[in-house]
Structure 1
Amino acid sequence: MASTAGKVIKCRAAVAWEAGKPLVVQEVEVAPPQAMEVRLKILYTSLCHTDVYFWEAKGQTPVFPRILGHEAAGIVESVGEGVTELAPGDHVLPVFTGECKECAHCKSEESNMCELLRINPDRKVMIGDGQARFSVNGQPIYHFLGTSTFSEYTVVHSSCVAKINPEAPLDKVCVLSCGFCTGFGATVNVAKPKKGSTVAIFGLGAVGLAAAEGARVAGASRIIGVDLNSNRFETAKKFGCTEFVNPLEHTKPVQEVLAEMTNGGVDRAVECTGNINAMIQAFTTGNCFKCIELFGCYRGQLHPFVDATDL
């Protein structure tokens, strides 16, 4: 990789040229990283519903052509001026909510919504010089969430990269850069269920399973999974779910079912679908509890990631 440092790299990427149209796998040019940037060789990338949502551009500002993708794992190919904490060869995860470590939010114990690098789905270029690092025949190809992992090489801000243990299997830990940390982190860091408490998890997709794992690690004694697909319960057991409720199998509202099961309501509820009905059910299903709604308000910042019911 050292031979490519400072040079433009030609590689394959899946480019979204128009909203809702099939991605085109084609050759793109990836410019070298500038100051405080790193160029990554992406080895594994996952597909998150958020990628699909912005590809469809329904209700969103259409930004095309664009390289989507934000849940991935790779290796540092080269670094730009001023980067000291990362070096070529490091195994890393790109992170779409970076932290500059200097602003008031980064220094606060209450928020990590960095003033410089907080999630911004409308930002399409690098913050350093306002230019894209991708191009095709001289035409700029725009970035997505500062990561754009649907490319064999990508350029990101150095504070949007997490260095990981080189022994970690990259094909597994790629989901840590989005799906897992969203559910697990919200449960452990925000909901903070007490040992022996009861937690309801609405939605048992990837984020919901991570939330269940967070509740298990926190010591919850009852973790009730709520999902319209009963086939998900067997998998959910592996992540800590002790009970399962399918709202379609009951004649009364699911919040009433949960209240009867738990002598009045759960201690914590984590809503992981983005479905409005599920949000209402989660907010009304407990005693004095914290309800975390992951898709209406991501880490405190409102965004339109609603209708993510197939996660």
Structure 2
Amino acid sequence: MQKPQGESVNGVHTETETSGKVITCKAAVVLGPGQPFVIEEIQVDPPQKMEVRVKILYTSICHTDLSYWKGESEAYRVYPRILGHEAAGIVESVGEGVVDMRKGDHVIPIFNGECGDCVYCKCDNSNLCERFRVHPLRSVMVNDGKCRFSTKDGKPIFHFLNTSTFTEYTVLHSACVVKIDSKAPLKKMILLSCGVSTGLGAAWNTAKVQAGSSVAIFGLGSVGLAAGEGARTRGASKIIGVDINPNKFIKGKAMGFTDFINPNDSKNPVHEIIQEMTGGGVDYSFECAGNLDVLREAFLSTHEGWGMTVLLGIHPTPRMLPIHPMELFDGRRIIGSVFGDFKGKTQLPHFAQQCMRGEVNLDEFITHELPFEKINEAVQLLAEGKSLRCVLHL
């Protein structure tokens, strides 16, 4: 067992060689729903066949982490567990069979993996993967059904969303690790692990927003704002933000939104307000709140004949869609989008290049920075709607 000491230029330790050995490091472990994260020393096993062990340098908290932490769905209640799925870091070592990465490479984890060999990965119309698609119920490694994390006395600590990034070192299957340009700023690249890719990709890849079109975005968290950024970069002429937190409008205006609606400010349904603003409805709407009543408003806010609603919010309740089948005969469509329809390993390296060239504005998404040990403060900032992304430095 080895505890890393010292680092090279790339951030990988040099005073001791840890490849093939168990590493002792710090992690933020959640022990139960709503309980504070506990920073404790854990043991991280070496990567097995087709796995990669990564030294995490930056990570952040997404609303999916927040939802699990709150225990909103009983099905996800597996403890102790290491959450986190937005991060960036450096490869510490690779397991047998990994040929597309090596020690020292700059990488980001992805919760929606891409093996490249299954029928899903080979299909141009899907970004899912037969074995490594997003799977909230999975809490162990795919290869052998075991954990790579354990307590100091050898008890297992469970995984989360194929990634588990609230730790100094993590182990992932290579299908869930994307190598990026070593010149890319890792602190910003964490946004590509989930929030920005999900929202912006929904506008680019799922809806294929056209220049001059109108857009309504329901829920102005990171995903919603990213959808707006995607619409802006595609030349949308009207981008309407809908949220009950008026503080979100300040950020939205800075990011190119043209109009804002607070549902609490009017007795009329939001869809009626939008229809009046746009002469019948928007071309595209994005539901980013995880609320079925909001989803219905988003659906009805689009124009009859061609309107499209993209579902992005996570809906943990057993309630069904609030849409009558006959309403689809009015020409409106509704579609879900996972990870912005990006094929992670195939397309994210190019997306990272676009971000490096300034084609996408990433700076506005990072609102706070804290040391890793203050992760509970970062959770509260997100829960209270005070932050978009708080970067945690490990």
Structure 2 residue aligned with 1:8: 22
| 2:206/2:337 contact within 8 Å kept | no
Which deviates more from structure 2 when the two are superposed, residues 18-27 or residues 251-260? Answer: 18-27
- Taking structure 2 as the reference length, the TM-score comes to 0.74
Q: What is the CA–CA distance in structure 2 between the aligned matches of 1:54 and 1:79, rounded to whole Å?
A: 29
Residues in 2 aligned to 1:56 and 1:89: alpha-carbon distance in whole angstroms: 36
- Aligned counterparts, 1:83-232, within 5 A: 83-136=98-151, 137-232=153-248
Q: Write the distance in 2 (CA, Å) between the matches of 1:16 and 1:213.
A: 33
**Separation of aligned partners in 2, 1:226 and 1:162:** 33
- Counting only pairs closer than 5 Å after superposition, residues 262-273 of structure 1 correspond to structure 2 as 262-273=278-289
Letter of the 1:179 counterpart: G
Instruction: Check whether the contact 1:222–1:242 (CA below 8 A) recurs between aligned residues.
Output: yes
Given the alignment of the two structures, is residue 48 of structure 1 paired with residue 62 of structure 2, yes or no? Answer: yes
On the 8 A contact 2:78/2:158 being kept in 1, the answer is: yes
What amino acid does structure 2 have at the position aligned with 1:291? T
Instruction: Report the count of equivalent residues.
Output: 304
1 or 2, which has the higher strand percentage?
1
Partner SS, residue 74 of structure 1: strand
Q: Following the alignment from structure 2 to structure 1, what is the Cα–Cα distance between the partners of residues 265 and 384?
A: 18
Instruction: Give the corresponding residue for 1:304.
Output: none
Equivalent residue letter for 2:242 = V
Distance of aligned partners of 1:298 and 1:193 in 2 relative to their CA distance in 1, 3 Å threshold: closer
Equivalent of 1:244 in 226, 244, 260: 260
- Identity across aligned pairs (percent)? 55
CA-to-aligned-CA distance 1:13-61 (integer Å, 9 cap, x gap): 0111222222211100000000100000001110112112212223332
Shift of 1:298: 5.0
Distance in 2 (alpha carbons) for counterparts of 1:6 and 1:95:
24
Residues 226-260 of structure 1, C-alpha deviations (whole Å, 9 max, x = no match): 11122222211232211112222222111111101
Tell me whether 169-178 or 30-39 shows the greater mean CA deviation. 169-178
Any conservation in 1 of the 2:241–2:257 contact (CA below 8 Å)?
yes
Which of the residues 296, 311, 315 maps onto 1:293? 311
Matched residues in 1 for 2:257 and 2:137: separation?
37
Q: CA deviation at 1:109?
A: 1.8
SS in 1 for 2:309: strand
Distance 2:248 2:121 in 1: 37
Q: Which runs of 5+ in 2 are unaligned?
A: 1-12, 316-335, 340-382, 389-394
Aligned residue for 2:364? none
Q: Does 1:258 align with 2:274?
A: yes
> How many Å separate the matches in 1 of 2:73 and 2:163?
22
1:162 Cα deviation (Å)?
A: 1.1
Which range is displaced more, 201-210 or 162-171?
162-171
List per-residue Cα deviations over 1:78-127 (Å, max 9, x = no partner). Answer: 00000010111111110000011111111112211100101111111111
Equivalent pair of 2:26/2:40 in contact (CA under 8 Å): yes
TM, length-normalised to structure 1: 0.94
Report if the CA contact (8 A) 1:184-1:210 is conserved: yes
Note the aligned Cα RMSD (angstroms): 1.7
Q: Tell whether the 8 Å contact from 2:202 to 2:337 is kept in structure 1 after alignment.
A: no
Q: Distance in 2 between matches of 1:16 and 1:256?
A: 43
Q: Which runs of 5 or more structure 1 residues have no equivalent in the other structure?
A: 301-307
